[in-house]
Amino acid sequence: MMSVLGDKSIGTLELPRVLEALAGFAVSAEAKERCLALRPAVTPAEAEERLRQTGAARAMLETRGAPSLSGVKPVAPALQRTQMGGVLNTRELLDIASVLRAARTVRSYHASGVKGAPSQAALDGLFARLCGDKPLEDRITGCILSEEEIADHASTELASVRRHMRAAASKIKDVLNRMIATHGKYLQDALITQRGGRYVIPVKAEHKGDVPGLLHDVSSSGATLFIEPMAVVQADNDLREWEAKERKEIDRILAELSAECDDARELLLEDYDALVAIDAVFARGKLASDMNASSPLLNGRGVTNLIRARHPLLDKSKAVPISVRIGKDFDTLVVTGPNTGGKTVTLKTLGLLTLMAGCGLQIPASDGSEVAVSRVYADIGDEQSIAQSLSTFSSHMTNIVAVLNEAESGSLILFDELGAGTDPVEGAALAVAIIEQARRQGCRVAATTHYAELKTYAMTTAGVANACCEFDVETLRPTYRLLIGIPGRSNAFAISQRLGLPEHVIDAARERVGLRDAALEDVLAQLERTRLAAENDRAAAEKTLADSIEDRRRSEELRLRIEREYEKASESARAEARRILDEARAAADEAARELARIKYAKAAAELPDLRRKLREAEDALGGGLSSPEPEALFDKPPAPGTEVLLVSTGIRATVLGTPDKNGLIPLQAGIMKVTAPLEGLRPCEAKKEKKPKPGGVSLTQTAEPVAMELDLRGQLTDDGVLMMEQFIDDAVMRKLPTVTVIHGKGTGAMRAAVHAALRKNKSVKGFRLGKFGEGESGVTVVTL
């Protein structure tokens, strides 16, 4: 619980304005109220837990967006009525369904993240509170279509009642439509309307006796009577009865749904509370993103170190970041400097960011900032009260007395213009005494002042440090930079001189300043000059260092670029060399294949001439070299299976059948089927088999079926590849689907050469090593 004085300090430091901004990011009304009621934690552990939740919510917002929290309405009042047996209306039931739907969707949102991820672990417990009740949610939304409409299928009884209602209404309209058709001349308009829930037709006043029925209304002019004809009175009565049954059934359905909600009351209240808590936490995450804030380190040792901190209520583009620390090297900070220089803003920033961290809010400061979790008391501003006859000094002193009475060890006390409003000598003495009392109570103190005595006190007292808000005398403007360790000057003489006050007036004023004060001002002036010189030297050194770092970075980039270019050029050269080598190899292989094809074609072309010369030589020698070819003709077609000789080619063939109608005999010559006339055939003797030389296919055997195997064992690699190319070309010409190349196992050189040639041969579809029983790795089976 915060005390009245603590709440007053919270208002003085403007935490409520930050909480208003926080509430603007919440979705539900109760979450907004919780944001406005947020107060700093008492212990570092509690504040740390809040900060972890804020950080987790911000991380989830940045990776997955916000969970859907729309429709989270208060359900406690409605559930309180169900507990007393009350029946909820449609709006209240739909609100309960919205809470159940939100609980279900938010649980799914949480489940969609990485299990156990640090970014959401701090919120796992909060999400785990959500239960949801899909059956109850579906039951409510299935029965209630809107605040004004209950679905027909909410119950079988309701569906039946409404079916009868529609039938009754249709019957009434049919009767009235017939009356309009037959009594149109008596009617003001040909339409059916309702008055008091009863169906009526507009009848002209002068014809009221022509349409018997019940009068329900009269137009403002009196010219039209709204009459319910007697023919539909009973039907209208029946419709009213069905409407009463409908209302009764709807009341029963709502009572049943209310009872179901009461059964789930505890679950619903827990879901609602968890959703509101999640809404408030995600509001903190959204505010942190909006302020570009960060999580500070929290401690209970009284150490605060804000790095480049900004007041959250100042314009982000104009606020000058300040760095301020207290509690480690010193427990008291005396801030001096000219008016409007930023002293009060420094105090408020220090106090407000401490309160925000205690509330679990990230603060607008750089990473690495540290904040002590503690109570904060502030006496800032002029609270002069006319009603209570209190002067400015009295008002401040009243606050100070209350602060000293309530503050405990570790508290942070902020005094603005301490001791002002009274005699300067007495005021300065009082200011020192008040600070000493606060220090004895174990408090940390930050105070602003113009008194030179407090500057001297800070310079000569252990645990007390001076700080000043920098002021540019040349431009007569504050820089809003906070400099710790250096007392500030009032700069009254310098400012007056720059504004045009005569020199002799300023000199006279200087003569009236006490020797001690003048000496102090001279020391401060000397310190100021020394500080500026040191800062200029430091700035120059930092620029030199930055330039060196930049030069080194550029040199490193240049080196990396040169290495990349060199590697790129080397790779390009290697690729070009590989391309040229591959093209040269491909050209050489193609030339070898072309040479083989040329040699094969030349030999095949010379074969008939060689055979002719052989026959001439045999004729000239009287058949001494070989048996003469038989000259006898067949006197009748040879029987199928007879081996004959084709005179035109000298090829042996086998007769397949009888002559066709043209006298042509079908023959099988090797793998080819041909036809020839009887006179083109000669009987021939059985051919003696000649054992082929290993690894070769004789040109004289081209008339025979081409071999299915090629044996390259014992051949040189290049010769073997050439023989294989010829073998494959011949097999392709004979349209063989597969052939086998025997290369043996050995060293594997012939196998490698054969496979390399097969990969480049366009006539080869694929190849594989032999299987068990085929020769295994000693043979290659080629698919053409």
Spatial distance between the Cα atoms of 374 and 40, rounded to a whole number of angstroms: 9
Of residues 450, 456, 457, 462, the one with CA closest to residue 434:
457
Spatial distance between the Cα atoms of 256 and 97, rounded to a whole number of angstroms: 15
Spatial distance between the Cα atoms of 463 and 94, rounded to a whole number of angstroms: 63
Spatial distance between the Cα atoms of 455 and 443, rounded to a whole number of angstroms: 20
Q: What was the pLDDT predicted at 689?
A: 47
Spatial distance between the Cα atoms of 412 and 181, rounded to a whole number of angstroms: 91
Of residues 119, 58, 72, the one with CA closest to residue 286:
58
End-to-end C-alpha distance for the chain, whole angstroms: 93
Give the CA count within 13 Å in the CB-facing half-sphere of 435. Answer: 31
pLDDT mean across residues, the chain: 83
Spatial distance between the Cα atoms of 224 and 576, rounded to a whole number of angstroms: 103
Which is more confident, 773 or 476? 773
Of residues 21, 1, 6, the one with CA closest to residue 311:
21
Q: What was the pLDDT predicted at 648?
A: 65
Which is more confident, 537 or 112? 112
For the chain, give the longest Cα–Cα distance.
162
Look at the block and give the residue holding tokens 């002209």.
Answer: 204
Q: 363-377, 390-404, 647-661, 672-686: which has the highest mean pLDDT?
A: 363-377
DSSP 633: P
Q: Is the pLDDT of residue 186 over 90?
A: no
Spatial distance between the Cα atoms of 396 and 393, rounded to a whole number of angstroms: 5
Contact 382, 315 (CB under 8 A): no
Q: What was the pLDDT predicted at 515?
A: 46
Residue 200 vs residues 31, 171, 216, 221, 243: alpha-carbon distances, Å:
53, 14, 8, 18, 18
Q: 23-32, 637-646, 673-682: which has the highest mean pLDDT?
A: 23-32
Contact 351, 9 (CB under 8 A): yes
∠ CA 611-616-622, nearest 5°, is 125
Q: At what angle do helices 749-760 and 515-620 cross, to 10 degrees?
A: 100
Spatial distance between the Cα atoms of 783 and 732, rounded to a whole number of angstroms: 10
Q: What was the pLDDT predicted at 667?
A: 85
Q: Is the pLDDT of residue 679 over 70?
A: yes
Q: What was the pLDDT predicted at 775?
A: 79
- Stretch 521-550: mean pLDDT: 70
Contact 326, 370 (CB under 8 A): no
Q: Which residues contact 759 (CB under 8 A, 6 or more apart)?
A: none
